[in-house]
Structure 1
Amino acid sequence: MTAPAERLDRFMARAVSAYYAARDPFGRAGDFTTAPEISQAFGECLGLWSAVAWEAMGRPDPVLLVELGPGRGTLMADALRAAADVAAPFRAALRVHLVEASPRLREAQRARLGDGAVAAWHDDVAQVPPGPAIVLANEFFDALPIRQFVRRGAGWAERHVSNGAFVERPAEDDAPPLPADAPEDAVQEVSEAGRALAAALGARLAAQGGAALALDYGPAAGGFGDSLQALRGHEPADPLADPGSSDVTAHVDFAALAAAARGAGAAVHGPLPQGLFLQRLGLMSRAAVLARAAQMAGKGRDQAGLILSGAERLVAPERMGRLFKALCLCDPALPPPPGFEAA
């Protein structure tokens, strides 16, 4: 029996929601490993980045530190520890808000961060209370649903999903503007959810102050191509099969996010390759300190080597350093934020 065709973005939204509601997908025992799980220096550097941004904002007290899709709470735990160690006034001013819809992951975050560390959890960014804010989004935009359009003759068709396979339907009236000169069979991906979120963040930061830092993977400029993908057990999987059983993502169109945020009144810095950004923040130097501390604590060269290799994985161009990008949206009154000064 043929199932009704479902537009790809609706299928993806349903699959992603089911996936995160049912499991803890992070780490070796899960489906994928994110930067905070690879190196604690990643979260520490983002915590210090946030402290410098707060200084540039005029040290508002209170200030919201918001994380979108905080996973197990690893990034936030490392960021808060670094802030407490070197920027006590910033740590005292912070009110932590986590945007997380999964009850399972909320419990993991509460266990990692401790009772009372989080002011509130929210299902949606729109629920975060007003006020100056610093927003962190690591590998968040890639999980937002996309639409896919395929050039057919003089027009465009849109991909739908039925029985685990693509089917094409004529593009609907609500389709976004699409290039008129695209070649035959070209695939154009559009994340309306990503653009809407970037616009909402841009409008908020321009009006209320603050900065948002997004780290994710995808090209610096848009283009044609099918980037829909899935992981299960750290191996590629069919993104259309068994919705909710694998991590379904797509490359982030950073140019589209930047345009949406600028259109809403925000300043935009980047995108920069993640490796360059993290090196400017001193991630490799911090990893070297951690490696020496591990050796001095008697944990041996193996542990020190793991610390250094984890940091190298984040910055090396042939690994995560080039494909992953850093993008900052902020209040136009702020100077270029850390890491973006020479961009």
Structure 2
Amino acid sequence: MIEKPTQTKLDSLTLEQQIDLQIATSGPISVATYMGLCLTHPSKGYYRAAEPLGAKGDFVTAPEISQMFGELIGFWLVNLWQQMDEPKSFTLLELGPGRGTLMADILRVACRAPGFRDALNLRLFETSPVLMAEQKARLEVYDPKWLQDFESFDDGSVLIVANEFFDALPIRQFVRKEKGWHERQIGLVDGKRAFGLSPTPIPPASMPDAVANAAPDTMLEVCFAAAEVLTRLGKVIAQQGGALLAIDYGYGTTQTGDTLQAVRRHAYADVLEAPGETDISAHVDFGALGNVARAAGLATQPLANQGEFLTRLGIGERAAALSGANPGSANDIRTAHDRLVGPDQMGKLFKVFCAHSPGLQPPGFAA
């Protein structure tokens, strides 16, 4: 029997060593447990210790590509605030605000609307101390406060923005076999981490109808964490009024397949290597999120591609205006525009999801 170490000894181990020790002492772990440890371990997780964004990080998000992205979302938020009769106090919450770039661009535009700044209660949900420091530096003038959960909301309407947030929530994976579905797990083979399947089958009747007739070896991904987050936020929006805008890569209806991926230094990496030093994510099942939102009493808009959404909001016109004011940067502005909306770049890969109070008409979506 392997002796369980003390907390002091655990703290001296790398995250890789801690994960291997947990598997060795307690058996294989789920993909969700592995993702959770890799990304949000209290002291050694990727989002606790790393600087993931930008040229020096592992990936670049839309707000880092161009100010136009945040500016158009700022316009979108003002439009909804006006539709809600310009409440004198409302909460604007961003989930996973990164370096604060998106929110800074949003508020630079939105606060030009008379009354918006005075009514604003800015809230941020973040787990990375490194990123929280950058958010504070960029957004301090707006007096932000950081939420630790989704229960402590001020009274009044709530507008929520989540750009590349849901893709980082832990998923579970299941594989169809002869006697049912088996959860994919991570164990040790000859001392190295490897994927395998739980020997205990899950009855097909407990899986979604969309995969009732799945072929052998079909994989299904389920994100219970995303459903839990949206259930809590949906309840708040249903009670207080407002909307949630989520932008991420994903699909509109539940589908099968393995989308688990890792990125390190702007290149794809092995999911099982370098835990805590690699970003891990999976595609978002927006169809499942829509079901959760509607169950909470919210309305949803038809899922849009990012390119369609930004074009409807006027990114072409905004790019032309910026180029006219900054002719020396016209080529860079055109490149950023194409990267955000191009069908072979971010335009089709990224989807835009909106759940909101019945009666609101969020711009940017197909009629």
- Whether TM-score is above 0.5 comes out as yes
Matched, 1:312 2:308: no
Matched, 1:190 2:222: yes
Map of 1:145 onto structure 2: 170
Compute the displacement of 1:176 (Å): 5.6
Is the 8 Å Cα contact of residues 232 and 246 (structure 1) preserved in structure 2?
yes
Q: State the AA in 1 paired with 2:166.
A: F
Map of 2:52 onto structure 1: 25
Aligned partners of 1:227 and 1:154: how far apart in 2?
24
Q: State the AA in 2 paired with 1:260.
A: V
Is the 8 Å Cα contact of residues 50 and 277 (structure 2) preserved in structure 1?
no
Is the 8 Å Cα contact of residues 49 and 129 (structure 2) preserved in structure 1?
no
Aligned partners of 1:118 and 1:261: how far apart in 2?
30
Question: 1:55 aligned to 82, 87, 107, which one?
Answer: 82
Aligned partners of 2:357 and 2:288: how far apart in 1?
19
Task: Report % sequence identity.
Answer: 47
Is the 8 Å Cα contact of residues 122 and 144 (structure 2) preserved in structure 1?
yes
Is the 8 Å Cα contact of residues 101 and 124 (structure 1) preserved in structure 2?
no
Map of 2:304 onto structure 1: 272
Q: Deviations over 1:81-129 (max 9, x none)?
A: 01123x1312221111001111111101011123x42331013333343
Structure 1 residue runs of 5 or longer lacking an equivalent are none
Give the TM-score normalised by structure 2.
0.87
Is the 8 Å Cα contact of residues 157 and 168 (structure 1) preserved in structure 2?
yes
Map of 1:70 onto structure 2: 97
Question: 2:148 aligned to 100, 113, 123, which one?
Answer: 123
Q: Secondary structure at the match of 1:218?
A: strand
Q: State the AA in 2 paired with 1:99.
A: F
CA-based RMSD of the aligned residues comes to 1.7
Compute the displacement of 1:311 (Å): 1.5
Higher Rg of the two aligned structures = 2
Aligned residue-pair number: 332
Aligned partners of 2:92 and 2:267: how far apart in 1?
34
Is the 8 Å Cα contact of residues 284 and 312 (structure 1) preserved in structure 2?
no
Aligned partners of 2:174 and 2:252: how far apart in 1?
20
Aligned partners of 1:91 and 1:36: how far apart in 2?
21
Give the TM-score normalised by structure 1.
0.93
Compute the displacement of 1:270 (Å): 2.2
Identify if the C-alpha distance between structure 1 residues 121 and 194 changes in structure 2 by more than 3 Å, giving closer, same or farther: same
Identify if the C-alpha distance between structure 1 residues 168 and 130 changes in structure 2 by more than 3 Å, giving closer, same or farther: farther
Is the 8 Å Cα contact of residues 136 and 144 (structure 2) preserved in structure 1?
no
Aligned partners of 1:167 and 1:88: how far apart in 2?
58
Structure 2 residue runs of 5 or longer lacking an equivalent are 1-19
Identify if the C-alpha distance between structure 1 residues 11 and 312 changes in structure 2 by more than 3 Å, giving closer, same or farther: same
Aligned partners of 2:295 and 2:183: how far apart in 1?
26
Q: Deviations over 1:222-246 (max 9, x none)?
A: 2110000010000001112221111
Aligned partners of 2:316 and 2:169: how far apart in 1?
31
Map of 1:291 onto structure 2: 323
Matched, 1:92 2:118: yes
| Greater mean deviation of Cα atoms: 249-258 or 130-139 | 130-139
Aligned partners of 1:172 and 1:125: how far apart in 2?
31
Matched, 1:259 2:291: yes
Q: Deviations over 1:47-103 (max 9, x none)?
A: 110000001112111111110000000000000001123x13122211110011111
Is the 8 Å Cα contact of residues 70 and 106 (structure 2) preserved in structure 1?
yes
Aligned partners of 1:130 and 1:145: how far apart in 2?
30
Matched, 1:177 2:207: yes
Question: 2:36 aligned to 5, 9, 13, which one?
Answer: 13
Aligned partners of 2:201 and 2:97: how far apart in 1?
35
Compute the displacement of 1:13 (Å): 1.2
Q: Deviations over 1:305-336 (max 9, x none)?
A: 112211211111111111111111101132x2
Compute the displacement of 1:31 (Å): 0.3
